[in-house]
């Protein structure tokens, strides 16, 4: 009786192990759990980062599992009330005017307005000149940006005069200079925030030297376009800080164009994987996968959009059947493949007809003993 029970247990383990190996993708989906945005939102509020807290929680409020949560609803309303208060708006306006940076639209507008004027470039060059005269450290990147700003302003003025003289034929040049100015203002803001990546700073210093002689900013047109896109996206300059080269800047700008104000919370959830997927997968599918965290995005990358959507739907239905199913799926999914193969081995061994094989072997040996001259 004991031997029979042991064989049944081993056979069952083998069957379960085989099923886990065959249904590994499905189990990976069932093992996923939706991200709870409340803890991180509360952490942002404790740090008084209301704009970022609104972005993060706002992303999840598009999904029923958060939107139907009374605690999430109350928190979302509290954030909105705080951001709409006159005291908060005044503080953010002052922040933009005095510090030149802000995480709210009203402060960013005030900060950018001063930098668009040529006086901002002259002011920055004068400050850096005074640092140099005193033997203090000079910000070469800020000097380069101010130099590029003067070149862009000169091109704007010349283009404006040319447009009048040529009845609009010089308008493209004026538009290019305006784009350059927008990009330079955004880059200055990034420098103040500490979000200008080192590789881009080196590029600007190198290009400013040649632009001063040629009076042309054409080499930086693509950079300015991508930087402007990121600057117009909430949290975009912080995303720019994650780039390591020009190709990654292009990809990050594409990511920001696709997801808009959801870009920063999406990047927080999925990192560079979310950026790379934005070039191959649909917008809504990526957002759905991100609600499962980085594991959801990995699964999307592995199985594709159509299969992931089906698996995610199945996973949502499993949630209503109880957490025990999800915990079981997670436990099975975490078993390493080598262990599953080891568990299968005893079950496979007991399925082999050992008695028949041994009996056949004995008969074969007996025949050889009876007829010694018989060859195999």
Residue-level pLDDT at 29: 56
Contact in structure between 159 and 169 (CB atoms under 8 Å)? no
Interatomic CA distance for residues 245 and 251, integer angstroms? 10
Chain segment 5-48, per-residue pLDDT in tens? 655 655 565 555 555 544 555 555 556 778 899 999 999 999 99
CA 105 to chain centre: 22
* pLDDT digit string, tens, across residues 78-127: 999 999 999 988 888 877 766 666 777 777 776 666 666 666 677 778 88
Q: How far apart are CA 189 and CA 233, in angstroms?
A: 14
Q: Among 217-226, 265-274, 285-294, 367-376, whose mean pLDDT is lowest?
A: 367-376
Which of 308, 100, 78 has its CA nearest to residue 185? 100
* Rounded CA separation 28/331 (Å): 10
Q: 260 in the Ramachandran plot: left (φ > 0), alpha (ψ -120 to 50) or beta?
A: left
What angle is formed at CA 189 by the lines to CA 252 and CA 109, rounded to 5 degrees? 100
Mean pLDDT for 288-315 is: 85
Angle at 96 (CA atoms; ends 120, 249), nearest 5 degrees? 75
Residue 47 and residue 302: Cα distance in Å, rounded? Answer: 37
Q: Rounded CA gap, 215 and 9, in Å?
A: 81
CA distances from 205 to 57, 198, 209, 239, 281 (A): 39, 11, 7, 21, 37
Q: Within 13 Å and on the Cβ side, how many CA atoms surround 102? A: 23
Which pTM does this prediction carry?
0.70
Distance between CA atoms of residues 76 and 60, nearest Å: 11
Residue reference for tokens 């499962």: 292
pLDDT at site 82: 92
The better pLDDT of the pair 149, 297 is held by 297
As a whole number of Å, the end-to-end CA separation of the chain is: 41
């Amino acid at each position: 009786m004991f031997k029979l029970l042991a064989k049944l247990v081993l056979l069952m383990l083998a069957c379960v192990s085989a099923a886990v190996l065959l249904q590994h993708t499905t189990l990976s989906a069932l093992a996923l759990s939706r991200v709870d945005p409340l803890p991180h939102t509360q952490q942002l509020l404790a740090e008084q980062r209301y704009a970022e807290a609104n972005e993060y929680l706002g992303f999840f409020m598009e999904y029923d599992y958060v939107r139907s949560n009374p605690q999430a609803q109350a928190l979302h309303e509290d954030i909105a009330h705080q951001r709409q208060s006159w005291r908060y708006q005044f503080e953010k306006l002052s922040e933009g005017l005095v510090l030149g940076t802000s995480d709210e639209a009203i402060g960013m507008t005030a900060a950018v307005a001063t930098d668009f004027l040529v006086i901002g470039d002259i002011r920055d060059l004068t400050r850096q000149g005074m640092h140099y005269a005193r033997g203090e450290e000079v910000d070469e990147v800020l000097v380069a940006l101010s130099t590029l700003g003067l070149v862009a302003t000169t091109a704007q003025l010349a283009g404006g005069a040319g447009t009048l003289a040529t009845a609009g034929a010089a308008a493209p040049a004026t538009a290019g200079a305006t784009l350059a100015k927008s990009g330079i203002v955004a880059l200055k803001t990034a420098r103040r925030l500490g979000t200008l990546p080192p590789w881009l700073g080196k590029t600007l210093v190198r290009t400013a030297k040649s632009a001063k002689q040629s009076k042309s900013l054409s080499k930086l047109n693509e950079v300015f376009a991508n930087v402007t896109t990121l600057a117009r996206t909430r949290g975009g300059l912080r995303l720019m800080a994650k780039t390591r080269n020009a190709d990654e800047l292009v990809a990050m700008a594409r990511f920001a164009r696709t997801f808009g104000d959801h870009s920063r919370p999406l990047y927080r959830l999925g990192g560079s994987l979310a950026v790379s997927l934005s070039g191959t997968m649909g917008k809504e599918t990526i957002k759905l996968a991100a609600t499962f965290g980085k594991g959801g995005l990995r699964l999307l990358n592995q199985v594709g959009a159509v299969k992931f959507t089906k698996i995610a739907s199945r996973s949502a239905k499993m949630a209503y059947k109880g957490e025990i199913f999800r915990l079981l799926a997670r436990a099975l999914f975490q078993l390493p493949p080598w262990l599953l193969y080891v568990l299968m081995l005893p079950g496979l061994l007991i399925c082999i007809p050992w008695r028949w094989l041994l009996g056949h072997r004995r008969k074969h040996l007996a025949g050889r003993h009876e007829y010694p001259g018989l060859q195999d």
